[in-house]
């Protein structure tokens, strides 16, 4: 059921992005990249959070399925953050003339890639399952503590070319309703895709581990 829902919603989002969403003022059709970039970035944060959650679950209960879910979530988070980085680099090239310019957001995302690349390297270097699960669970917990700073806080402390969401006087996003609806659909689609992939990667028997 979930794969069908993901496939249908993906088709709807693609249709909305390319045939319904109007060009944005100042960005034109380049704005369409954001409807893929933002959901990828969102899911990477969600995946790293869940990796830490399941890592904590392993430390509490010593159940290997929690370790498998934690590892699968971290791997997917790394995949999604790479996709967010690539789509952001394409947007950067089209709008600012260079794929990479060490903008604060690009710099912090590079650090995030290093942190979770080290997580996977650590898992690969430890053959004994229980010890690997214990050590990487602790690593996942401490690694996630850096995510809010790298994604939400540090980039806002410095000048950045990266566009930020505009908030109107009522506290909501100042965005065309069609664009907002498409973005929300994309966020839901990416989230469902993550849920399907993480449980598919470890087998259906682990579904009960979802909090």
Residue 167 placed within a domain: no
Digit-coded pLDDT (tens) for 162-197: 766 554 444 445 678 899 999 999 999 999 999 999
Instruction: For residue range 144-164, list pLDDT tens digits in order.
Output: 999 999 998 988 887 777 766
Phi and psi angles of residue 22, each rounded to the nearest 5 degrees, phi first: -80, 160
- Confirm whether 70 is domain-assigned: yes
pLDDT higher than 70, residue 204 = no
Residue 119 in any domain: the answer is yes
Looking at residue 208, its pLDDT comes to 44
pLDDT tens profile 17-54: 999 999 887 788 999 999 999 999 999 999 999 999 99
Q: Quick check: is 169 in a domain?
A: no
Q: Kindly give, in sequence order, each residue whose CB lies less than 8 Å from that of residue 165, ignoring residues fewer than 6 positions away.
A: 173, 175
In a domain, 171, yes or no: no
- pLDDT score recorded for residue 160: 72
Question: 75 lies in which domain range?
Answer: 2-17+31-161+179-206
Quote the pLDDT of residue 88.
Answer: 93
Cβ contacts of residue 24 below 8 Å, gap of 6+? 30, 31, 179
In this structure, is residue 67 part of a structural domain? yes
Asked if residue 44 belongs to a domain, the reply is yes
Domain count, the chain: 1
| Six-digit token string for 174 | 């100042």
User: How many residues can be counted in the chain?
Assistant: 211
pLDDT of residue 165: 58
Task: Give the separation between CA 40 and CA 189, rounded to whole angstroms.
Answer: 10
Assigned domain for 25 exists = no
Q: Token digits for 170?
A: 């009522």
Write down the residue that tokens 């709008």 correspond to: 95
Global pTM exceeds 0.75 = yes
């Amino acid at each position: 059921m979930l794969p069908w829902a993901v496939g249908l919603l993906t088709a709807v989002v693609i249709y909305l992005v390319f045939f319904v969403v109007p060009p944005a003022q100042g960005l034109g059709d380049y704005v369409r990249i954001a409807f893929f970039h933002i959901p990828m970035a969102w899911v990477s944060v969600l995946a790293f959070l869940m990796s830490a959650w399941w890592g904590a679950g392993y430390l509490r209960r010593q159940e290997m399925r929690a370790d498998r879910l934690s590892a699968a979530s971290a791997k997917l988070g790394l995949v999604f953050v790479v996709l967010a980085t690539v789509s952001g680099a394409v947007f950067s090239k089209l709008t600012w003339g260079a794929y990479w310019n060490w903008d604060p957001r690009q710099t912090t995302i590079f650090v995030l890639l290093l942190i979770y690349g080290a997580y996977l390297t650590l898992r690969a270097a430890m053959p004994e399952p229980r010890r690997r699960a214990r050590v990487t669970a602790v690593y996942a917990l401490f690694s996630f503590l850096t995510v809010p700073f790298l994604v939400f806080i540090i980039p806002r402390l410095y000048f950045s070319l990266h566009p930020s969401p505009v908030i109107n006087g009522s506290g909501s996003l100042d965005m065309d309703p069609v664009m907002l609806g498409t973005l929300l659909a994309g966020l839901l689609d990416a989230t469902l895709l993550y849920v399907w992939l993480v449980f598919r990667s470890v087998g259906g028997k682990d579904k009960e581990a979802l909090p």
